A = this chain, B = another copy of it.
Amino acid sequence: MNQMIQRPSLHAELTDRLRHMVIEDQLSPGEKIPEKDLCALFGVSRTPLREALKVLASEGLVVLEVNRGARVAEVTVEELDKTFPVLALLEQLVGELAASSIDDDGIAAVTALHDSMLAAFRAGDRPTYFQANQDIHSALLAAAGNDVLESHHRLVATRVLRARFMVNMSDTRWAEAIAEHEEMLTHLSARDGEALGQVMKRHMLNKYRALKAALAA
C-alpha cells in the first residue's frame, strides 16, 4: 500500500489549472496569454508556467507563436468537422467496451447519474444537466477499462467541449439527447455493447449536427 504524499510539482498543477480555465471559458478562444499576468495570478515564476503552456500547446488548447507568446486556441468550424467523426468513433468503442466490462455497481452508479440528469432536465437546469451528462460519459469511459482509450478520448473531447459556449442547445435537441440517454441506459443494463456503441456514436453525431445547425443560424 503506497500512500506517499507528494506535493505535485508546480508545472503539473499549473497545467491542470490552465487547462481547466480554458475548458471553462475563463480564458476565451483567441485571447492572448501574457505570462506575467498569469505568474502574478498564481504566484509562481515564469519557468513552471511556460512548461505548462508547452504541454497545453501539445494538447492543442493553446497556440504558441515564436517570440509572440501564447494565445488560447480558437474553436473553428473546420476543427469541429474533423474532430467529431473521430470522437464519434471513440464513443462507439467506449460503448462496446463499457457494456461488456461494467459491473452491477457501475450500472447502478450510471443509473443514479442518469436520474439526477433527468431531474436537471425537468428543472431546466442546464449547468447541472451538463455536469451530470459529463459525469455519465466519464463513468462509461472509466468502465470501458482501457486507459489508452480514456486518455485519448479526453484529449479529443476537450478541444470541442468548449464549443458549448458558442451556442445554446435548443429545447428540441435537449429532449432528443435525453431520449438517446434513455436508450443508452437500456442497452447498458442489457450489457448490449453493440447497441450501446451504436447509440453513443449516433448521440455524438447528433450533437455535432445540432451544433452545426445552431452555428449556421
Contact = CB atoms under 8 A, between A and B. Distances in A.
A66 interface: yes
Contacts of A64: 9
**Copies, count:** 2
Interface in A56-86: 57-60, 64, 66-67, 79, 82-83, 85-86
Contact of A86 (B15, B52, B146): B146
Nearest to A160: B148
B156 A66 contact: no
A151 B155 CA distance: 11
A54 B49 CA distance: 12
A82 B51 contact: no
A147 interface: yes
Contact of A50 (B8, B51, B66, B82): B51
Given A50-B51, A54-B51, A8 B66 contact: yes
Contacts of A146: 82, 85-86
Nearest to A92: B89
Contacts of A60: 151
Contact of A148 (B97, B149, B151, B156): B156
A6 interface: yes
A90 B92 CA distance: 12
Nearest to A11: B54
B9 A82 contact: no
